[in-house]
């Protein structure tokens, strides 16, 4: 199964603008993108990003181990949005640099801890992780709670210019 993620340039801009803001004590910010989905007749999965939900300043927790640790309230709000809108939930954060970003070991490990839990609130949809940088994107998508995630093959940015901004 190949996986594609489609989003508007406006949404990507909104995400970058939010994640680039400094936080009082967290080293970085994170957020959530909701998405609809379809399966093509060829068996590909395409996610259509809907909206971005930032994590409120007060929902971050102090941590010496990770750049951004968010508390249960942030997770609850994201899960509630995914449940109410029947959406896929994509955790998103940013790395510095250009080109295709890569997940760090910490990113991937924490994803394996919390993304399968998204299926408890919205089992109809795939869920995952996205990392953006200044020009590119990388994604890991779980299609089931108990399966290994798959890398996103490509990200399609729709706006005044049609762009492919990363992937496998």
Partner 1 sequence: MSQLDRQSFLGLHSHKRLAEVQVGLIGLGGGGSHVAQQLAHVGVGGFVLVDPDHIESSNLNRLVGGTHEDIAQRRAKTEIAARLIRSINPDVRIEEHVSKWQEAIERLKCCDLIVGGLDSVIAKDDLDRFCRRFLIPYIDMGMDVHTMAGGRYLIAGQVALVLPGSPCLRCMGIVTEEGLIAEAQKYGAAGGNPQVVWPNGLLASAAVGLAVQMICPWNDQLGRGALLEYDGNKHTLRPSGLFAHLQAAGCAHNHPDETGEMLFDIRRHIR
By CB under 8 A, name the binding residues for partner 1. Answer: 1, 6-8, 10, 34-41, 43-51, 85, 87, 123-126, 143-144, 147, 156, 158-162
Q: Which is nearer to partner 1, 32 or 48 (CB)?
A: 48
Q: Is residue 74 a contact partner of residue 56, using CB atoms and an 8 Å limit?
A: yes
Q: How far is the CB of 13 from partner 1 (least distance, A)?
A: 11
Q: How far is the CB of 99 from partner 1 (least distance, A)?
A: 16
CA distance 46 to 150: 13
CA distance 93 to 168: 18
Q: Is residue 107 a contact partner of residue 97, using CB atoms and an 8 Å limit?
A: no
Q: How far is the CB of 71 from partner 1 (least distance, A)?
A: 26
Q: Which is nearer to partner 1, 60 or 136 (CB)?
A: 136
Tokens 């409120």 correspond to 56
Which residue, 118, 117, 126, is CA-closest to 150?
Answer: 126
Q: Which is nearer to partner 1, 68 or 152 (CB)?
A: 152
């Amino acid at each position: 199964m190949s996986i594609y993620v489609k989003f508007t340039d406006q949404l990507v801009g909104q995400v970058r603008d939010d994640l680039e803001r400094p936080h009082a004590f967290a080293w970085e910010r994170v957020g959530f993108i909701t998405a609809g989905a379809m399966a093509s007749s060829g068996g590909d999965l395409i996610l259509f990003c809907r909206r971005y939900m930032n994590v409120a300043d007060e929902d971050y927790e102090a941590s010496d181990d990770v750049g951004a640790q968010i508390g249960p309230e942030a997770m609850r709000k994201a899960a509630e949005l995914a449940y109410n809108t029947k959406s896929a939930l994509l955790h998103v954060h940013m790395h510095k640099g250009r080109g295709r970003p890569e997940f760090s070991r910490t990113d991937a490990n924490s994803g394996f801890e919390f993304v399968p839990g998204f299926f408890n609130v919205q089992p109809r949809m795939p869920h995952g992780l996205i990392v953006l940088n200044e020009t590119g994107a990388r994604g890991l998508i779980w299609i089931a709670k108990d399966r290994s995630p798959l890398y996103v093959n490509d990200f399609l940015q729709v706006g005044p210019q049609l762009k492919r901004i990363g992937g496998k």
